[in-house]
Amino acid sequence: MRVFQIEGDWGFDNLKLSDRPEPEPGPGQVLISMRMASLNARDLIVPERGYGRATGELPLIPVSDGVGEVVAIGEGVTRVSVGDRVCPTYFQNWTAGAPTPERFASALGGPLDGVMADLVCLSEEGVVKAPDYLTDAEAATLPCAALTAWSAIVTHGQTRAGDRILIQGTGGVALFALAFAKMQGAHVTVISSSDEKLEKVRAMGADETINYRETEDWARASRAITADRGGYDNIIELGGARTLPLSLRAVRPGGTLSMIGVLSGLNIEASLGPIVARQVRLQGVTVGHRDGFEAMLTAMAQHQTRPVLGKSFAFEDLKPALEHLRAGGHFGKTLIRF
């Protein structure tokens, strides 16, 4: 079967189209014929071994997100049947409860082989049924970006109607966060450097928008939006080093900074005083567990929520797809057709 794998050594030059024997499901396992995959920022980092030892060993099949059809099952499988359309879970061993080192070590696309293969063999505990109303392309976007946003807005954020939420950017996680925050009845502000993208998110339900290229001090600019409570209840923090100091000024006393991305850098220079003095909660968010995934799917089906799709590429064009993702400027999830 066809696979894309990082082989020989780390680096994009060693990401190659190759062949592996077709797997067979053992007890408790399912064999999935992949139909679509979806890319995340993480897929740009793994080939360069950006996560160190946690990235895994070579050869490694990259990419965590996708959807496919169950074509065979092993002995004892009861969660799914042949013919079911399923999404793999990002963390294969995290079904519920608190994270642990062992659960965090079970991510697809590094350290475990990912979905860039014609056939993928996984534990039945590591898949969920895809909602019937979603297309293959839409379902493929859910395991990482959607669940990360759900965890930030619902699981950890416990968003309630009337809450003020600020979302940084218009990437995959940000657009899902917008959809889920509006689902909960929140008032949402989105910041971006693109007026064109801000127009699009307004059409999707954003209540306020700020162009941070034109208004660099967006924390000050947002004060009028949150004047009734002294700041945002939850800020979906995707920028990292450059945005965190502003987020600390824009969050309300007792509010939450949901740390997800580090697009502007890993190392921060910010005063810790506001965190203590204003009792701010700094909540790291790393995707989520299977129970959260299935709760998210139930809510999405109830509201008929549809992911925003971007450009799609053929299986053999994974590397151009990754370059498209790296270039930025896109709107919606980048997809791979099998």
Full pLDDT tens readout for the chain, 338 residues: 999 999 999 999 999 999 999 999 999 999 999 999 999 999 999 999 988 778 899 999 999 999 999 999 999 999 999 999 999 999 999 999 999 999 999 999 999 999 999 999 999 999 999 999 999 999 999 999 999 999 999 999 999 999 999 999 999 999 999 999 999 999 999 999 999 999 999 999 999 999 999 999 999 999 999 999 999 999 999 987 788 889 999 999 999 999 997 654 556 666 677 788 788 999 999 999 999 999 999 999 999 999 999 999 999 999 999 999 999 888 999 999 99
Q: Pairing state of beta strands 2-6 and 15-19?
A: antiparallel
In words, the CATH class of domain 2-144+288-337 is alpha beta
Neighbours of 279 (CB within 10 A): 11
Task: Answer left, alpha or beta for residue 158, where phi above 0 means left and psi between -120 and 50 means alpha.
Answer: left
Yes or no: say if 194 and 163 are a contact pair by the CB < 8 Å rule: no
- The predicted model scores a pTM of 0.94
| Distance between first and last Cα of the chain | 12
The residue extents of the domains of the chain are: 2-144+288-337, 157-284
Fold for domain 157-284?
Rossmann fold (3.40.50)
CA distance 8 to 6: 7
